[in-house]
Amino acid sequence: MGVRSHTMPQHPNPSAAAALDPSSSSANPGSALQPIPDHDRYSRQILFPGIGPTGQQLLAQSHVAIVGVGATGAATASLLARAGVGTLTLIDRDFVESSNLQRQVLFDEADARESLPKAEAARRKITLFNSSITVHPHIADLVPANIHDLLAPAHLILDATDNFETRYLINDYAVQHSKPWIYAAAIGAYAATMNILPIPTVEPPAPTSWKPTACLACIFPKPPTGPVETCDTSGILSTAVNLAASLQTNEALKLLTNQPHLIRRTLLSHDLWTNERSEINTSTPNPDCTVCGQRIFSHLAGEGRPHITLCGRNSVQIHEHHRPVDFASMSARLSRHTDIQDLRFNELLLRFRRGPHTLTLFPDGRALIQGTTDITLARSLYTRFIGS
């Protein structure tokens, strides 16, 4: 599928859409099972007038990138895959742990025991219930160096991250390339979503266009300062996660079926425990906005971006060294350390424990050091056991 700047999948011929030929579905490589015909799989969704046969074909032609495949991202990925979105790109830097199972719907106990990377675990589960779509897992941290390659093929970007640093990066990229994206967050019993439709910059105008909304920087010119709540400090209810994912997915379906006039043009927040609900108008871009008004993309340029970032759960992430790692050789070297325990690896990651700290290394040299938020200590452990 070609890369398009801000166009959504093109409206097919209605007569062709009505046929919904099941042979047009491309099964994932390696699937030995007879695919379920699309007219059976999606029959109840096609009956809904807002989708219909034409909308179902539009979904099949769509490519959505989900940044973060934790609680919200896993739920959103499941919903979009079941709805028949033809291609999903899943980007996540983390692996499955037992504490995830309370709310992250695509993972099970075996994934946690194996510390399987979330993007790959999600791909495997999606294949079990919809083998007719394509899923591209990327075990990576989304950063300025890789964002263009990872997000360029997608028609729509969905935020399911756990930090504002990445959200502002997505906002820069989406505004620069006129790609729609949807912000989503869940913490405690609180869920929030916001649709961002950037100002079109492609000439001539695209066949499918929209009235622009405010971007993230219009509403929040600066990232929050001081302590930020996370699920590790405030807890989280799976109900809040699923509300955020459902709202995000529902808006995505409107965009992917070429109905941007129906999307909500507010930042909606809802506390399921207190029943408090609020909306902030986002219908109009701020002409003085640094990003969509002045088109200054400081996050995309990497200005002020730390090489080491906290991932919000008594852990430090190090992604200073982008280099391929030979896990077999690394394992052989680490096995000579008498203070290292539980050393294991597969093609996706290498993991070991040293005292109160657990180090997880990914193929590109990125590492998560659990058991500390001390950046100096984390760097010391990385340098000692992985290398400088």
Q: Which of 359, 358, 334, 363 is nearest to 348 (CA)?
A: 363
> For the chain, where are the E strands, in sequence order?
63-67, 87-92, 134-139, 156-159, 181-187, 190-196, 266-271, 277-281, 308-310, 315-318, 341-345, 350-354, 357-361, 367-370
In single-letter form, the type of residue at position 217 comes to A
CA distance 292 to 285: 8
Q: Name beta bridge partners: 139.
A: 92
Question: Is 215 annotated in the active site?
Answer: no
Report the DSSP pairing between strands 156-159 and 181-187: parallel
Q: Which residue has the tokens 């769509």?
A: 62
27: nearest Cα among 58, 2, 60 = 60
Return all residues near 334 (Cβ < 8 A) that are at least 6 apart.
Answer: 340, 343, 352, 385
Q: Which residue among 231, 289, 292, 311 is the active-site one?
A: 231
Report how far residue 366's alpha carbon sits from residue 321's, in angstroms, rounded to the nearest whole number.
7
Question: From CA 84, how far away is CA 273, in angstroms rounded?
Answer: 32
Q: Which residues belong to the active site? A: 231
